[in-house]
Chain A
Amino acid sequence: MSYLKIDHAGKTFTSGSRSNVVLQDVRLDIAKGEFVSVIGHSGCGKSTLLNMIAGLTETTSGGIILEGREVNAPGPDRAVVFQNHSLLPWLTVYDNVKMGVQKVFGSTKSKAERHDWIMQNLDLVQMGHAAQKRPAELSGGMKQRVGIARALAMEPKILLLDEPFGALDALTRAHLQDAVMEIHARLGNTMIMITHDVDEAVLLADRIVMLTNGPAATVGEVLEVPLARPRDRIRLASHPDYVRAREAVLRFLYERHRFVEAAE
């Protein structure tokens, strides 16, 4: 069976007598260890879908099932890397990661083990050197690295990445994409990444889930990316499968976009 099952899930926001259907009938099965990218135009409900998986937003119809149990509240088994890092500015990098570790491993690991685990995760994102710094002293890319370390340190079943690199410059973004690919290869986490960057989606994902335009967005198409790992962005740039996948996503986004506008 699938690891994460999104079963006819939908989200309707209601305020007073007005209701706004954001997502409708989303169906998706994700296997353990799979890397899935979710792409769609801005405002289509990508982040809402991720928040539903995280449990931060309530699902109003259908359901989401992780390892046989329904998701209806947030929890550290679905750690989120937030779009704007969301590090607590009054804590050091180390303490930011420690907060989650304390919560998840407070009773199962000793103090020394927890310390090693925190440092191990910071080293994994190459931020061990900045353990005692505060978020304000770090660059945007470094903050996001710490955000990833914080999420990984909770040893989640699924790592949810909400457009994590959207606010970064292209070079930093490439570095972080490589870091995420390396972590995925080493730890084999199940990852779901929201993105609006076609190259990012193709480079990182095993499957790309394309959402239709809202309102009432749903899964329009799912594309398998048949590229072997480890992937190298330079060698892939001219690879026929890469080019074909990229083209398919672009075609979906732009033809579907036009189609929806014509239909309205």
Chain B
Amino acid sequence: MTVTALKRPAAAAAAPRPAATVHAIPRPRSAASARAARLGRAAAANVLPPVLVVAALLGLWQLLLAGGGAALPSPIEIWQQSGDLILEPFYVAGTQDIGLGWRVLTSLERVGIGFGLAAFVGIAVGAVIGQSAWLMRGVDPLFQVLRTVPPLAWLPISLAAFMDSRPSAIFVIFITAIWPVIINTAAGVRAIPQDYRNVAAVLRLSPLEFFWKIMVPAAAPYIFSGLRIGVGLAWLAIVAAEMLTGGVGIGFFIWDAWNSSMLTDIFVALLYIGATGFALDRLVAFIGTKVSRGTTV
């Protein structure tokens, strides 16, 4: 009791004066360096775990397959035999001997066309279907069945229809990616609150104005989750389709490498495919958050 009573005024009297001079000057500098330290720590917290985990898994892989006689290559073998594919993605040494970067771009072009069509048609069809409860009930079972058909099952049909491998591959992408876009767009349109419809009615918006000014922004979160699923499926489908149709794409590269027993090349190609798929997913998600800003509130 007496100790605290004595201490308190002493501290109060002593503290303010030096504190004012000491604090006033270093505060901005310490704030900046603290922010830098915090950023560094955040980066370390985010980057370090995946790096360590990948390193550990590669180490494990190396240990398991290093003994020799294994059917699959070890990471060091892959690096030794196919490291140039990683280091030089964009070389050209002949019509069929080009870098994996070029092959990925060729596949991306097909995905771009097929998925672009699927997004365009899917949003339009979804917007129409979402407007009508009757239509929704009518087409929903059909879509639910069709969307479970594996991409490659469409290939023979599209080859028969188009008689050419390039449009067939694009059609397979299109037909694979379109279902989630349609289904999600329709669900998003159905979920537009009646309030927004009333606003549109009072303003006498034309159907086209309603589409651009109310429907697209209001349903954007739904539409973009559909597009995100769609782009993932499209990338899955292109690899499988190219394995069968040939050409210069990354899928055909895998098939070609398998036929010429270049197992290590296949592992590198998998790395490219995974990284590209990840980038596509993030890209669509990024556009989605930009477009639907504020809508989810």
Contact = CB atoms under 8 A, between A and B. Distances in A.
A, B assembled together: yes
Interface of A: 54-56, 73-76, 78-80, 82, 84, 86, 88-91, 99-100, 103, 134-136, 154
Contact of A74 (B201, B213, B292, B297): B201
Interface of B: 195-196, 198-199, 201-205, 213-214, 217-218, 220, 292-295, 297
The 5 closest A-B pairs by CB, nearest first: A86-B195, A136-B297, A74-B201, A90-B294, A90-B217
Secondary structure class of chain B's binding surface, majority of residues: helix
A13 to B, nearest CB: 15
B195 A90 contact: no
Contacts of A103: 203-205
Contact of B203 (A73, A76, A84): A76
A56 B214 contact: no
Nearest to B296: A89
Given A56-B198, A99-B213, A74 B294 contact: no
A73 B217 CA distance: 25
19 contacts: A56-B201, A56-B202, A73-B204, A74-B198, A74-B201, A78-B202, A80-B202, A84-B195, A86-B195, A86-B199, A88-B196, A88-B217, A88-B218, A89-B294, A89-B297, A90-B220, A91-B294, A103-B203, A136-B294
A82 B205 CA distance: 18
Nearest to B205: A103
A82 B197 CA distance: 12
Contacts of A54: 202
B213 A80 contact: no
Contacts of B203: 76, 99-100, 103, 154
Contacts of A82: 195, 198-199
Contacts of A78: 202
A75 B217 contact: no
